[in-house]
Chains A and B, each alone.
Chain A
Amino acid sequence: MSNLDGREEGQATAESLVLKRFREQFRQALLEVKVWRNETTVLLAPQDLTRACRFLRDDPDLVFDFLTDVTGVDRLGLPESTPRFEVVYHLYSLQHRRRVRLKVRVNEGEAVPTVTGVWPTANWHEREVFDLFGVPFEGHPDLRRILMPDDWEGHPLRKDYPVEASPKWWEEEPA
Chain B
Amino acid sequence: MSPIRTMTLNMGPQHPSTHGVLRLVLELDGEVVVKCIPHIGYLHTGIEKGLEGKRFQQGIPLTDRMDYLAPLSNNLALVLAVEKALGITVPERGQTIRVMLAELTRIKSHLVWLGTHALDIGAMTVFLYCFREREQILDLYEAASGQRMMSSYFRVGGLAADLPPGFEDGVHAFLETFPDRQAEYEALLTKNPLWLQRTVGIGTISRDDAIAFGLSGPALRACGVSYDVRKAHPYSGYERYQFDIPLGKNGDVYDRYMVRMAEMRQSWRIASQALQRLQPGPINVTDPKLVPPPKQLIKRSMEALIHHFKLYSEGFHVPPGEVYQPIEAPKGELGVYLVTDGGNKPYRVHFRAPSFVNLQALPKMVEGRLVADVVAVIGSLDIVLGEIDR
Contact A66 B214 (CB under 8 A): yes
Asked whether, in the complex, the Cβ of B321 is within 8 Å of the Cβ of A7, the reply is yes
B222 to chain A minimum Cβ distance, whole angstroms, is 15
With beta carbons under 8 angstroms apart, the residue of B86, B225, B232, B324 that contacts A39 is: B324
Stretch at the interface among A22-30, A48-56, A117-125: A117-125
Query: What is the count of residue pairs linking A and B with beta-carbon distances less than 8 angstroms?
Result: 103
CA distance A161 to B357 in the complex (A): 26
Q: Which residues of B contact A88 (CB under 8 A)?
A: 337
Measured CA separation A99–B227 after assembly (Å) = 13
Is A163 within 8 A of B49, CB to CB? yes
Q: Does B154 contact A (CB under 8 A)?
A: no
Shortest distance from the beta carbon of A153 to any chain B beta carbon, whole Å: 15
**How far apart are B269's CB and chain A's nearest CB, in angstroms?**
23
* A157 CA to B348 CA, complexed, in Å: 9
The docked-state distance in angstroms from the alpha carbon of A88 to that of B46 is 19
Smallest beta-carbon distance B217→chain A, Å:
12
Q: Chain B interface mostly helix, strand, loop or mixed?
A: mixed
Proximity string of chain B (340-363) to chain A, C-beta cutoff 8 Å, 1 when within and 0 when not = 010000011010100011001000
Q: Given the complex of chains A and B, what is the CA–CA distance between A3 and B357 in angstroms?
A: 35
A65 touching B211 in the complex, CB below 8 Å, given contacts A3-B287, A77-B341: yes
For B208, give the chain A residue with the smallest CB separation: A65
Report how far A77 CA is from B352 CA in the complex, Å: 23
Residues of B within 8 A of A3 (CB): 86-88, 285, 287
- Cα-based distance from A20 to B309 in the complex (angstroms): 49
Is A173's CB within 8 Å of the partner chain B? Answer: no
Find the B residue at minimum CB distance from A6.
Answer: B87
A59 to B88 CA separation, bound complex (whole angstroms) = 35
Report yes or no: A157 in contact with B356, Cβ–Cβ below 8 A: no
Indicate if the CB atoms of B348 and A73 lie closer than 8 Å: yes
Is B212 at the interface (CB under 8 A from chain A)? yes
B322 touches A124 (CB 8 A): no
CB-defined contacts of B360 to chain A, threshold 8 Å:
121, 123-124
- A90 in complex: contacting residue of B53, B225, B335, B347, CB < 8 Å: B335
Q: Bound state CA distance, A71 and B352, in angstroms?
A: 9
Knowing A77-B341, A121-B214, A156-B49, the reply to whether A68 touches B326 (Cβ < 8 A) is yes
A residues in contact (CB < 8 Å) with B: 1, 3-4, 6-7, 9, 36-37, 39, 41, 65-69, 71, 73-74, 77-78, 88, 90, 94, 97, 99, 101, 119-121, 123-125, 132, 145-149, 156-157, 161, 163
Interface residues of B, Cβ cutoff 8 Å to A: 40-41, 44, 46, 48-50, 53, 84-88, 211-214, 225, 227, 232-233, 285, 287, 289, 319, 321-324, 326, 333, 335, 337, 339, 341, 347-348, 350, 352, 356-357, 360, 389-390
A-B contact pairs, 9 of them (CB 8 A): A36-B323, A71-B337, A73-B348, A90-B324, A101-B324, A119-B214, A120-B212, A147-B44, A149-B41
